[in-house]
């Protein structure tokens, strides 16, 4: 278990805190075994393609706090994702019936001069301007490689501006070079919220924190009859909402890779029980997850009724889908742990999962509970995945594998990956809203989309006839893990 310390300005990166890795190839069961025995070694690739960085993931969670402003202390290019998250924010406003508004994001626009003389004055001016312009309830400062290397004291600047402006001005340390695991950016964002925004509870409430990306509000239907209220965090929360997430009755995570740090922090520091089971994807997974929820919320009898009712409604429909999907081969590329959930879903529906390329692997989460291991759950419940590959968005490996295994369907969770399936004429499905797949109904929703995708061959067939492939013939004939230094034991990146 990692001990949460809210006194430190920075959260330790996942490689060191959890022992997470970004390179592996072998059987999923082998990875689980080695991870649980604490015997994971990082592999480094001698050829790699561009990844993501922590600052993007930090912004992903901070950018949609409704009354906060963001100051990105960086050269202007680091703000390249501003509009992206603003777009996500605005689309989310539509489904929540919120008035349209832009996120308020500022970039300090560090130039060559600042790299020599330091950029803290510019940072101060930007924070003050953001305050004047927006009157936010809090300002989050996200850092960058450039300001970290030149050594700007962002924490000190933030603290003195906090006093001056009388609102929390919070440094969030998420510079890209620190970690190969960009989900460290989620931890950085949550750390900044936990240490400077969240207050000790005044009382216990009937709210249940749902740590999520801003997907649909599927938990209302489940929690309301049980006498609880879902509180979706962090996107679309206000600063005031976040102040008292410490009062909640429990914390649910849509994906432990997203919420591991915040879930553990709320439990360790404020005693908010965190749901430990992997998120409820697939029938068996949902059963386990719901039973834990029943225990945590003291609603065990009610939950048993839900399980019975839903099984009766669902099972015949699922059986019909299983007949259709039986023997169909799927390949998955996604982030952990949602990728693990997708493995469970596909297996539940009768697919053969040929292999998976999952962006990283956390051997354990911050709560230190082996039961939270979503991959272990998938392997135990549904069997092994023979070709399991930990691969941080390396399209060249994916392309090599796909051209050899040629699955009936490719499942992707993130952008930049789907095109490779489609270029090979493989029907490819990306679902952005992970909540849509959650629980019993989620399985049905997924089955429907899978059927539709398998059925829709025309586009990919035609595209494959006219596509160019930017990879050499030589490469496509190699072992996909040619560049993965399997014998290099690098403990910490």
- DSSP letter, residue 278: P
Nearest 10 degrees: Cα torsion 143, 191, 207, 252: 100
Given a contact cutoff of 8 angstroms between Cβ atoms, the answer to whether 270 and 200 are in contact is yes
C-beta of 283 vs 401, nearer to another protein: 401
Report how far apart, in Å, the C-alpha atoms of 46 and of each of 124, 471, 477, 483 are: 40, 17, 18, 5
110 binds another protein (CB under 8 A): yes
The β-bridge partners of 142 are: 72, 172
- Contact between 150 and another protein per CB under 8 A: yes
Minimum distance, C-beta of residue 49 to another protein, in the bound complex (Å):
6
- Rounded CA gap, 328 and 21, in Å? 30
Two tokens, residue 332: 């998955």
Of positions 289, 325, 331, 396, contacts another protein by CB under 8 A:
396
Q: Does residue 154 bind another protein (CB under 8 A)?
A: no
Q: What's the min distance (Å) between Cβ of 14 and another protein? A: 13
**Structure tokens given for 440:** 């019993």
Identity of the residue, 86 or 352, whose beta carbon is nearer to another protein in the bound complex: 86
SS3 of residue 394 by DSSP: coil
Exposed / middle / buried, residue 352 (Cβ in 10 Å: 0-12, 13-18, 19+)? middle
Helix axis angle for 256-270 and 184-196, nearest 10°, is 30
Q: Which of 24, 89, 106, 244 binds another protein (CB under 8 A)?
A: 106
Q: Which stretch binds another protein (CB under 8 A): 68-76, 273-281, 313-321, 374-382?
A: 68-76
Q: How far is the CB of 327 from another protein (least distance, A)?
A: 31
Between 122 and 361, CB nearer to another protein: 122
CB of 418 to another protein, least distance (A): 10
Quick one: 122 or 191, whose CB is closer to another protein? Answer: 122
User: 17, 178, 299, 360: which one contacts another protein (CB under 8 A)?
Assistant: 178
Sign of dihedral through CA atoms 207, 211, 212, 214?
positive
Nearer to another protein, 78 or 337 (CB): 78
What minimum distance in Å lies between the beta carbon of 476 and another protein?
Answer: 9
2: left (phi over 0), alpha (psi -120 to 50) or beta: beta
Nearer to another protein, 351 or 475 (CB): 475
Q: Minimum Å distance from CB 392 to another protein? A: 8
Footprint of another protein on residues 270-309 (CB under 8 A)? Answer: none
Cα–Cα distance measured from residue 179 to residue 173, given in angstroms and rounded to the nearest whole number? 11
* Calculated CA dihedral for residues 282, 288, 290, 294, nearest 10 degrees: 180
Minimum separation from the CB atom of position 284 to another protein (A): 34
Q: 32 and 379 in contact (C-beta within 8 Å)?
A: yes
Interaction of residue 113 with another protein, rule CB under 8 A: yes
Contacts of another protein in 433-492 (CB under 8 A): 468-475, 483
Which listed residue (56, 168, 256, 363) binds another protein by CB under 8 A? 56
Q: Does 235 bind another protein (CB under 8 A)?
A: no
Q: Which of 210, 417, 443, 447 binds another protein (CB under 8 A)?
A: 417
Q: Sign of the CA dihedral 184, 186, 189, 191? A: negative
Which residue's structure tokens are 């950085």? 188
Q: Is residue 315 a contact residue for another protein (CB under 8 A)?
A: no
Residue 276 neighbours by CB under 8 Å, 6+ apart: 292, 367, 369, 371, 372
Site string for another protein, 33-52 (x = CB under 8 A): -------------xxxxxxx
Residue carrying structure tokens 């922590």: 54
Binding map of another protein across residues 374-393, x = CB under 8 A, - = no contact: -------------------x
User: What is the side-by-side order of every strand in the sheet holding 207-211?
Assistant: 229-233, 207-211, 250-253
Only one of the segments 76-84, 378-386, 403-411, 426-434 lies at the binding site for another protein (rule: CB under 8 A); that segment is: 76-84
Q: Which is nearer to another protein, 116 or 312 (CB)?
A: 116
Does position 167 bind another protein by CB under 8 A? no
Q: Count of residues binding another protein (CB under 8 A)?
A: 76
The correct pick among 1, 5, 77, 96 for binding another protein (CB under 8 A) is 77
Stretch that binds another protein, among 102-110, 213-221, 348-356, 371-379 (CB under 8 A): 102-110
What is each CA distance from 355 to 281, 395, 413, in whole angstroms? Answer: 19, 15, 15
Contact flags string 353-372 toward another protein, x per CB under 8 A: --------------------
């Amino acid at each position: 278990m990692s001990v949460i310390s809210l006194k430190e300005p920075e959260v330790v990166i996942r490689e060191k805190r959890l022992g997470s890795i970004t390179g592996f190839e072998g059987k999923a069961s082998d990875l689980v075994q080695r991870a649980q025995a604490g015997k994971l070694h990082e592999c480094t690739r001698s050829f790699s393609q561009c990844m993501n960085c922590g600052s993007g993931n930090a912004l992903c969670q901070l950018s949609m706090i409704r009354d906060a402003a963001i100051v990105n202390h960086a050269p202007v290019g680091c703000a390249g994702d501003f509009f992206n998250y603003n777009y996500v924010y605005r689309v989310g406003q539509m489904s929540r019936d919120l008035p349209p508004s832009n996120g308020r994001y500022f970039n300090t626009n560090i130039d060559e001069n600042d790299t020599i003389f330091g950029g803290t004055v510019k940072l101060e001016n930007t924070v003050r301007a953001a305050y004047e312009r927006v009157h936010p309830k809090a300002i989050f400062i996200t850092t960058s490689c450039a300001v970290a290397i030149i050594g700007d004291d962002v924490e000190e600047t933030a603290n003195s501006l906090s006093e001056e402006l009388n609102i929390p001005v919070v440094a969030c340390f998420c510079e890209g070079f620190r970690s190969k695991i960009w989900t460290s950016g989620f931890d950085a964002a949550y750390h900044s919220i936990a240490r400077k925004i969240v207050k000790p509870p005044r009382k216990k409430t009937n709210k249940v924190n749902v740590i999520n990306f801003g997907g649909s509000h599927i938990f209302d239907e489940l929690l309301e009859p049980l006498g609880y209220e879902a509180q979706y965090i962090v996107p679309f929360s206000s600063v005031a909402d976040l102040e008292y997430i410490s009062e909640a009755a429990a914390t649910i995570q849509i994906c432990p890779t997203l919420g591991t740090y915040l879930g553990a922090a709320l439990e360790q520091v404020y005693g908010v029980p965190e749901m430990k089971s992997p998120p409820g994807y697939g029938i068996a997974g949902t059963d386990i997850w719901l039973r834990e929820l029943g225990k945590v919320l003291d609603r065990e009898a009610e939950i048993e009724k839900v399980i019975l009712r839903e099984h009766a409604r669902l099972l015949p429909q699922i059986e019909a889908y299983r007949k259709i999907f039986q023997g169909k081969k799927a390949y998955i590329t996604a982030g952990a742990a949602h990728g693990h959930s997708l493995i469970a879903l596909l297996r539940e529906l009768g697919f053969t999962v040929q292999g998976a390329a999952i962006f990283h692997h956390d051997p354990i989460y911050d709560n230190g509970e082996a039961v939270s291991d979503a991959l272990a759950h998938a392997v135990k419940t549904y069997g092994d995945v023979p070709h399991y590959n930990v691969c941080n968005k390396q399209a060249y490996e994916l392309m090599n594998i796909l051209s050899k295994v040629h699955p009936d369907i490719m499942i992707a969770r993130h952008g930049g990956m789907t095109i490779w399936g489609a270029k090979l004429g493989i029907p490819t499905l990306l679902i952005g809203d992970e909540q849509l797949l959650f629980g019993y109904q989620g399985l049905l929703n997924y089955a429907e989309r899978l059927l539709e995708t398998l059925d829709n061959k025309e586009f990919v067939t035609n595209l494959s006839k006219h596509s160019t492939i930017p990879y050499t013939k030589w490469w496509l004939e190699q072992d996909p893990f040619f560049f993965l230094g399997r014998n290099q034991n690098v403990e910490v990146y």
